[in-house]
Chains A and B, each alone.
Chain A
Amino acid sequence: MEQIVNLLINGLATGMLIFLLAAGLTLIFGLMDVLNFAHGGFFAWGAYSGIWFYGVTGQYVLAILFAMFVGLVLGALTEKLIIKPVYGNHIQQILITLGFMLVLSELLKVIWGPNQLPAHAPEWLSGSWLIGDIIIIKYRVFIIVVGLIAFFTIHFILKKTRIGLIVRAGVMNKEMVEAMGIHIQKIFMLVFMVGASLAALSGLLLAPYSGVIYAEMGMDFAILAFIVVVIGGMGSFTGSLLAAILVGLSGSFMAYYVSELSIAVNMLLMILVLIFRPQGLFYGKG
């Protein structure tokens, strides 16, 4: 029983990290039709900048806000300088964002060195709770809580505010949104910045979870995020949460019971979705 609970919490925590990375990716693709392979770079920059800030100030919560701010700034610069010139051309988008991803990784090495860096959770998030026979690691619960807060905040904005309605409408028909007098380019920029910020948050949350950070960490997780976006449905925010939980849990349980298949199971899920429901499980569900 305790093992199952642990696997469950582990899977949910991993799922939340992937969700935070995939959420931006799915909105960016759904709204802007942009394949952003540099998204993992924001993730890695979030981890490095946040851990650096935490090291300097000792304030983990402030470090989270700082990492998100770095994500916002990087997102704004990337949209303006890298993405804007290649709107509407997927091949150019893949090439330029992959190239930019490498640049972001190399810049991390230039600033913080080529070696892996250690990352630790703050004291108040270290250790575990003992409930009966079950050991629950505090930091994993923290990741789940932060992921849920991020989900409900953005879900509220998407469902209840005019700007959220515009984003959802833009995912469905951006030309019509523009024809209604809305400056869709500004909305693109905003969504891109928020997406980058969520990726940076995810990167920082992962750092103490894995114990080390390294410049290429973004690419490893970005692949999982792309799988989640395909399973959840391009442009579906709720879909990306549910798909991320599915991927997180299946990865966690498979790693314990059939470890050889732990990575393959996610690919298998994606292939099944592509065959039987290519638009994704929750396409259009918001």
Chain B
Amino acid sequence: MEVLLKTENLETFIGQYHILQGVTFEAIRGEVTVLLGRNGAGKTTTLRTILGLSPPSRGKVFFKQKEIQELPTYKTANLGIGYVPEDQGIFPYLTVEEHFKIATKGKGDKVNERIETTLALFPDLKQFWRKQAGVLSGGQKQMLAIARAYINYNELLMIDEPSKGLAPIVVEKVMETLERMKGETTIILVEQNYLMAEYLGDRFYIIDDGKTVLSGEMKELKEHEEWRKKYLGIS
């Protein structure tokens, strides 16, 4: 088992607020690692801290054994980390095609090959190729955001609440897509929807009040109702 990404005692302030107070976790290559926790626990900030969007005040981030917490965001992203933010980060006045163009690194045939491979995984996006992303439905926007992060064959994808605000039927579709991506890439998934987390996750970490308080294999969490009740407020 190769550890692709590791954080050690991450601490992050946002303004005067001490949001992360010691987040430690590992993402194993090829697995889906789920970060769980109540609203405001610090899950989104953890992803933002890894990417350098909210730089840490203390602690370390390792990607493929290399320390990266000091790097600017664009350099971290170029190491092979794709990011799908909670609000999807879609550019509303760019078309789907333009999203693909802007996201794809490299030139020539490689670009076309990547676009084709990605569209094979997200076939619905073909229908909206020339449409502005702002007019897409919530589910289509989510697919576009994931496709954009996937297109460069990033070794790690960090996906923040992909089910947020989506109808159950659309959530199922997103789940199916993420399941197809499983194995091809490593995923860190922040998710409030426990069913989705349980379905996709191999390993979990629970963050509470800015600290990792519990971790293990997903099947363990499935077996321990009292953990779910205590930390997630669900049974």
- Whether chain B is bound by chain A comes out as yes
Chain A: residues with CB nearer than 8 A to chain B?
162, 165-166, 168-169, 172-173, 175-184, 284-286
In the bound assembly, the distance between CA atoms of A180 and B75 in angstroms comes to: 10
Cβ–Cβ contact A181 & B91, under 8 A: no
Cβ–Cβ contact B74 & A178, under 8 A: yes
In the bound assembly, the distance between CA atoms of A179 and B74 in angstroms comes to: 6
Cβ–Cβ contact A179 & B148, under 8 A: no
In the bound assembly, the distance between CA atoms of A173 and B92 in angstroms comes to: 9
Near A by CB (< 8 A), chain B positions 55-108 give: 72-74, 77-78, 83, 85, 89-94, 98, 101-103, 105
Residues of chain B within 8 A of A179, CB atoms compared: 51, 53, 73, 77, 83, 85, 89
SS class, residues of chain A in contact with chain B: helix
Cβ–Cβ contact B102 & A172, under 8 A: no
In the bound assembly, the distance between CA atoms of A171 and B27 in angstroms comes to: 33
Show 28 residue pairs from A and B whose CB-CB distance is below 8 angstroms, ordered by the A residue.
Answer: A162-B102, A165-B94, A165-B102, A166-B102, A168-B91, A168-B93, A169-B98, A172-B92, A172-B93, A173-B89, A173-B91, A175-B73, A175-B89, A177-B102, A178-B72, A178-B77, A179-B89, A180-B83, A180-B103, A180-B148, A181-B77, A181-B78, A181-B152, A183-B72, A184-B74, A284-B92, A285-B93, A286-B93
In the bound assembly, the distance between CA atoms of A126 and B73 in angstroms comes to: 54
Count B interface residues, CB 8 Å: 22
Cβ–Cβ contact A172 & B91, under 8 A: yes
In the bound assembly, the distance between CA atoms of A179 and B102 in angstroms comes to: 12
**Given that A166-B102, A179-B51 are known contacts, is A172 also in contact with B74, CB under 8 Å in the complex?**
no
Cβ–Cβ contact B73 & A165, under 8 A: no
Residues of chain A within 8 A of B101, CB atoms compared: 162, 165
In the bound assembly, the distance between CA atoms of A45 and B83 in angstroms comes to: 43
